[in-house]
Amino acid sequence: MLESFLPELALPENSQLLGQLESMITERRLPHAIIIEGADGELNGRLARLCARAFLCSCERPLEGECRVCRLMATYGAHADIVKVEGSGKTGAIPVDTIRDLNEQARRIPADADGQVYLLEDCDNMQPPAQNAFLKLFEEPPPRVMFVVTCRSAMNLLETIRSRACLLRASWPGAAPDEDAVRAAELAGRFAVALVSASEADALMLTGTFSRPAAKNPQVRKELAALLSAMRSLLRDALVIGAGAPSDTENGPAAVIAGTLPPERVAAMLDELPALEQALRTNAPIPLFTTAMCVRLRRAAGR
C-alpha cells in the first residue's frame, strides 16, 4: 500500500517497516510520537508527511483519497494542520525558543482537520536544551496531536526522546548506511540471541569484548550506548513480530527472540534498559557494568 505513495520504500530491507506501519495505519492506531531514521533526509521528510496524512485521514479506508486531507495532500502536498517546525541559524537546528513556542501552538484548535501533526525534520543537530524543552510535550501531547521527528541517526537524539517514540528505521535507494549504527545493530543482534540461549557463555564472551585494557576510553562507553539503543529497537521489533507483524527474515534476531520468549519476557528485557543506560551515563566501571548488563538481561529473559 505505502509503496504506491512512496515507491522508494519498495526495498527488501523495508519489509518489516512496511508491515508495522501499514498495520498501524489500517487499524488507525498510529502513535502520537514517531521518529523516522534514515540516511536520506528528503525521503525521511516524505515518509513523515505520509504518516501525517494517514494520522489525519478520515476516509472510510485509510489513505483511500476521498477525504479533504487526502485531496489537499495529493494536490498540493500540504495541509494547514500539518506543520513543519523550522530550524534557524547556520546549522538549521531547531532552537529552544521555537520549542517553547511549540508548547503553546500545539494546544490550539486545529484549522481544518480533526487533529494536528508537527514535523521536526533533520533533528540530528538539535541541541540538548531544545530536546529537553520538547520532552514533556513529546511524551504528553494534547489530544489528537502527533509529532514526527526525522533524523539520520537516532543516536543523535537524547535517550529520553528515543524511549518515548515509535522508531521507524527506513532504508533508501543509494543511501550510504551509518557504519557505526550498522555495527551496533549487528552486535545487538548477536548479543540478544546469546542472551535468550540456554547457555550464558556466549553472552558473557560478547560483553567481555568491552572489558579490554582500553575500557576507560570514552569510545567504549559510546559503543555500549549504541549497543543499548540498538537493543531497544531490536526488542521492540520482537514485540511487534510477536503480535503478528511480518518479519523481513525468519532467522533474523528479532524473529528469533519473538519465537523464543513470550511477550512479557521481551517487555521485561526492555524495562531493564533505562537503568542500564543511566548506569552507563554515571560512569559505572565498564567490567562491572558489562557483567551486570548480561546478568540483568538474562534474568529478565527468564534464563
Q: pLDDT digit string (tens) for 265-281?
A: 988 988 888 888 888 87
Using alpha carbons, list the distances in angstroms from residue 116 to 24, 51, 247, 265: 18, 12, 31, 36
Q: What pLDDT sits at residue 43?
A: 93
pLDDT exceeds 90 at position 150: yes
Q: What pLDDT sits at residue 245?
A: 60
Pick 289 or 84 by higher pLDDT.
84
- Let me know: does 170 contact 43? Beta carbons within 8 Å: yes
pLDDT band per the 50, 70, 90 thresholds, residue 19: confident
Pick 209 or 116 by higher pLDDT.
116
Q: Which of 48-57, 85-94, 153-162 has the highest mean pLDDT?
A: 48-57
pLDDT band per the 50, 70, 90 thresholds, residue 215: very low
Q: What pLDDT sits at residue 176?
A: 59
Pick 233 or 12 by higher pLDDT.
12
Q: Could you read off the pLDDT of 53-64 as tens digits, one per residue?
A: 999 999 999 999
- Let me know: does 279 contact 296? Beta carbons within 8 Å: no
Q: Could you read off the pLDDT of 58-94 as tens digits, one per residue?
A: 999 999 999 999 999 999 889 999 999 988 876 788 9
